[in-house]
């Protein structure tokens, strides 16, 4: 075994941060499909189990095997779980990217790398730790074809030694990850982790600033992917029908749903109290959802931008025919190949106005797993109460990354099925007009197919109908109908979740954002206050249409920065559609669009730049 552990490459200059505890980021660079997902998750979970707030973000390619992948773990004693721009501690395993990964580091940072990569030749201002992974893996893994996978667990051991991660927590996380059915595999990997640890203990004597220390910052918390939380939210909201077509980053939502539905919703007769259909495309999946919603099921689909485009015609039909539907859009970067596995708030505008003619759709913007869960119930209730398609707009960052969260909040609030008339109601009323605004909220009463009453039936068709749901091309009927739909949208305004506001005393500046920009915006707010003495208030939109609270927020600030994770400022543009000119003039736009989750530093720098102008 190699005994060559070089005396540490001494950092030149004084850039190395001194003693950093529980506040840095670790990045692991590997190739897709090399099995690193398990060891990365174990590392993250072990830190979490030590009570240290943590987040794990996977940046992966649209590929099954071979292309580069980076997994970034951020430990933050302050509880910041947004992406941190700078990497402090890098594990370079991928020969393809190692050179660039190494050159990107700030001076003084730590680089653990696979020894044959010879990264020590590239620069001398890092703390370098070459590890002879290939030599170490042989003895712990006799079976040659498993070595590539097991190798990853070695770096967990090395990192654990260097950062003071408790090996007992690594062991716990590892066995949890493999589950009770794969104990043998878990033992093999545990052996590797220990070998990595022992090797590091004997060979790594460098001085480096980063350390993890047990604290009490994760008590009662869970770690969950947003898609799993949304899936559970839909199930606990009483969803009975799902139609979908696989697309990253939404597939894991439905796959998780299928798993939990089997477990939670198998009836006493051994049969499911739900139906999940993998449709032939998104045209069909939304069509099925609309058919099911029309016939009275709580129906949903999950998709991403390309699927949303295909659903356009049908969503317009559902708007005009007034059929409930829930569409979860796990947003990602633009069309076709390239960056489908990167995150973006790319469909805000298209969700709000999808289809032809005059259309407007409510959108809910969850910012973390708890809201993925609770807003699923909101979405179904809104869809059925207001008889209209409702979007839940999440993104790849939220959907597919690991989030530390409070446990998902169970609700036993009654499920709201909206204005549906039974045959007894029809007996009492004598009849009904499907599209008449009886209650002044713009929402008519509907009946479901199968209602046993001679007055129950009505005919559903697109744009041309009168209050009685009879075919009509008369201008007055059309105007009457679309004006009522506007009133209905206004009623929705009063029923959507209110924004989350954090008002800073004496703030001249406001920040408005939605969804996963939350962590970065809150951290930027703190940075601006701490570093610049600049108080900034924040308002997080939780829904479209906007409520009065947004008007009031804008009125009480001189300038309001709208934060967007897209090039065209989609949230900014959507606000401009609905606000008064006076308020629009106060808006500024901050846009981030690299395919990576937005980070606090980017926002802080951009606000300061615009403020200086």
Partner 1 sequence: MSTTAVPPKKTNHIGLEVVQYKGGKTTLCAGCGHNAVSERIVEAFYEMGVEPWRVAKLSGIGCSSKSPAYFLNLSHGFNSVHGRAPAVATGAMLANRDLLGIVVTGDGDTASIGIGQFMHLLRRNLPLIYIIEDNGVYGLTKGQFSATSDYGAKSKGGSLNEMHKLDCCLLGIELGATLVARTFSGDKRQLLAILKAAIAHKGLSIIDVISPCVTFNDHPGSTMSYAYMKEHDVALHELDFIPHFDDIRLELEEGEARDVTMHDGSILRVKKLGRDYDPTDKMGAIRTLHEAEDAQEVVTGILYLNTQTKNFFDTLHMTDTPLASLPEQVTRPSKAALDEIMEELR
- Omega before 249 cis (within 30°)? yes
Name which of 435 and 572 has its Cβ closer to partner 1.
435
Nearest approach in angstroms of CB 320 to partner 1 is: 11
For partner 1, the binding residues in 416-475 under the rule CB under 8 A are 447-454, 456-462, 471
CB of 275 to partner 1, least distance (A): 5
CA 255, 385, 420: angle at the middle one, nearest 5? Answer: 105
Sole window of 131-139, 280-288, 329-337, 544-552 interacting with partner 1 (rule: CB under 8 A): 280-288
Which C-beta is closer to partner 1: that of 323 or that of 521?
Answer: 323
Q: How far is CA 251 from CA 310, 326, 585, in A?
A: 17, 16, 40
Task: Report strand pairing: 509-514 vs 23-31.
Answer: unpaired
Q: Could you give the CA distance from residue 431 to residue 418 in angstroms, rounded to a whole number?
A: 18
Q: 75-114: which residues touch partner 1 (CB under 8 A)?
A: none
296 binds partner 1 (CB under 8 A): yes
Per CB under 8 A, does 269 bind partner 1?
yes
Among 21, 222, 339, 579, binds partner 1 (CB under 8 A): 222
- The one-character DSSP state at 115 is G
For residue 476, the minimal CB distance to partner 1 (Å) is 20
- Of residues 371 through 410, those in contact with partner 1 by CB under 8 A are 407-408, 410
Question: Residue 274 interacts with partner 1 (CB under 8 A)?
Answer: yes
Considering only CA atoms, which of 345, 326, 333, 340 is closest in space to residue 394?
Answer: 345
Alpha-carbon distance of 583 to 579, in angstroms, equals 6
Least Å from the CB of residue 358 to partner 1: 17
Q: What would the x/- binding string for partner 1 be over residues 316 to 345, using CB under 8 A? A: -x---x------------------------
How many positions of this chain bind partner 1 (CB under 8 A)? 72
Q: Do 374 and 234 meet the contact criterion of CB atoms below 8 Å apart?
A: no
Identify residues 239-258 at the interface with partner 1 (CB under 8 A).
239-241, 243
At its nearest, how many Å lie between partner 1 and the CB of residue 267?
5
580 binds partner 1 (CB under 8 A): no
Name which of 150 and 317 has its Cβ closer to partner 1.
317
CB atoms within 10 A of CB 431: 11
User: Least distance in Å: CB of 100 to partner 1?
Assistant: 35
What is the full DSSP assignment across 212-252? Answer: ----SS-TT-EEEEHHHHHHHHHHHTT--EEEE---TTTHH
Encoding tokens for residue 464? 């041309």
Kindly state the smallest distance separating residue 453's Cβ from partner 1, in Å. Answer: 7
Question: Judged by CB under 8 A, does residue 309 bind partner 1?
Answer: no
Interaction between residue 217 and partner 1 (CB under 8 A): no
Give the integer Cα–Cα distance in Å for 20 and 17: 7
DSSP state of 180: G
> Which listed range, 116-124, 259-267, 332-340, 586-594, lies at the site for partner 1 (CB under 8 A)?
259-267
Q: What is the DSSP string of 42-64?
A: HHHHHHHHTT--EEEEEE--SSS
User: Would you count residue 265 as binding partner 1 (CB under 8 A)?
Assistant: yes
Exposure on the CB side of residue 99, measured as CA atoms within 13 A = 3
Q: Closest approach of Cβ 124 to partner 1, in Å?
A: 44
* Interior/surface letters 235-260, b for 16+ CB within 10 angstroms, e for the rest: bbbbbbbbbbbebbbbbbbbbbbbeb
Which of 260, 353, 436, 576 contacts partner 1 by CB under 8 A? 260
């Amino acid at each position: 075994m190699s005994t060559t552990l070089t005396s540490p490459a001494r950092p030149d200059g004084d850039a190395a941060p001194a003693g950093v505890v529980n506040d840095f980021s670790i990045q692991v660079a590997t190739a897709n499909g090399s099995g690193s997902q398990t060891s990365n998750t174990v590392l993250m979970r072990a830190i979490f189990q030590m009570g240290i707030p943590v987040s794990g973000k996977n940046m992966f390619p649209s590929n099954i095997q071979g292309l580069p992948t980076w997994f970034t773990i951020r430990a933050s004693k302050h509880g910041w779980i947004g992406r941190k721009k700078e990497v402090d501690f890098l594990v370079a395993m991928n020969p393809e990217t190692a050179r660039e990964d190494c050159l990107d580091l700030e001076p003084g940072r730590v680089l653990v790398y696979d020894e044959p990569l010879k990264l020590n030749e590239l620069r001398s201002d890092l703390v370098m730790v070459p590890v002879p992974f290939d030599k170490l893996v042989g003895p712990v893994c006799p079976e040659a074809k498993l070595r590539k996978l097991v190798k990853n667990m070695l770096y967990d051991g090395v990192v654990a030694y260097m950062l003071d991660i408790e090996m007992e927590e690594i062991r716990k996380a590892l066995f949890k990850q493999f589950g009770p059915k794969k104990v043998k595999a878990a033992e093999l990997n545990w052996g590797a982790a220990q070998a990595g640890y022992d090797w590091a203990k004997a060979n790594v004597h460098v001085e480096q600033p980063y350390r993890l220390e047990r604290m009490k910052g994760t008590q009662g918390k869970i770690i969950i992917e947003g898609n799993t939380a949304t899936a559970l939210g839909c199930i606990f909201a009483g969803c009975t029908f799902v139609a979908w077509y696989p697309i990253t980053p939404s597939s894991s939502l439905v796959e998780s749903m299928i798993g939990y539905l089997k477990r939670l919703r198998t009836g006493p007769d051994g049969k499911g109290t739900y139906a999940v259909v993998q449709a032939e495309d998104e045209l069909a999946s939304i069509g099925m959802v609309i058919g099911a919603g029309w016939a009275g099921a709580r129906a949903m689909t999950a998709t991403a931008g390309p699927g949303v485009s295909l659903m356009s015609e049908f969503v317009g039909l559902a708007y005009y025919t007034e059929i409930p539907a829930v569409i979860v859009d796990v947003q990602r970067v633009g069309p076709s190949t390239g960056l489908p596995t990167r995150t973006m708030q790319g469909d805000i505008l298209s969700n709000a106005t999808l289809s032809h003619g005059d259309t407007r759709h409510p959108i809910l913007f969850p910012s973390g797993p708890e809201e993925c869960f609770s807003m699923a119930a909101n979405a179904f209730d809104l869809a059925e109460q207001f008889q209209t398609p409702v979007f839940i707009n999440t993104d790849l960052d939220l959907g597919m990354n690991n989030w530390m969260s409070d446990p998902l909040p169970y609700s036993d609030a009654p499920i709201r099925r909206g204005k549906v008339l039974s045959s007894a109601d029809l007996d009492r009323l004598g009849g009904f007009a499907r599209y008449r605004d009886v209650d002044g909220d713009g929402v008519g009463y509907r009946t479901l197919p199968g209602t046993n009453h001679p007055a129950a039936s009505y005919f559903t068709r697109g744009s041309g109908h009168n209050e009685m749901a009879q075919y009509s091309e008369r201008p007055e009927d059309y105007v009457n109908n679309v004006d009522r739909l506007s009133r209905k949208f206004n009623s929705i305004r009063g029923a959507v979740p209110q924004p989350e506001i954090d008002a800073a005393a004496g703030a001249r500046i406001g920040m408005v954002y939605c969804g996963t920009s939350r962590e970065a915006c809150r951290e930027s707010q703190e940075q601006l206050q701490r570093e610049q003495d600049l108080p900034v208030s924040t308002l997080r939109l939780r829904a479209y249409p906007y409520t009065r609270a947004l008007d009031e927020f804008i009125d009480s600030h001189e300038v309001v920065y709208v934060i967007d994770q897209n090039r065209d400022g989609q949230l900014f543009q959507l606000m401009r559609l609905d606000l008064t000119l006076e308020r629009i003039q106060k808006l500024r736009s901050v846009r981030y669009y690299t395919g990576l989750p937005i980070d606090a530093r980017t926002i802080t720098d951009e606000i300061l730049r615009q403020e200086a102008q």
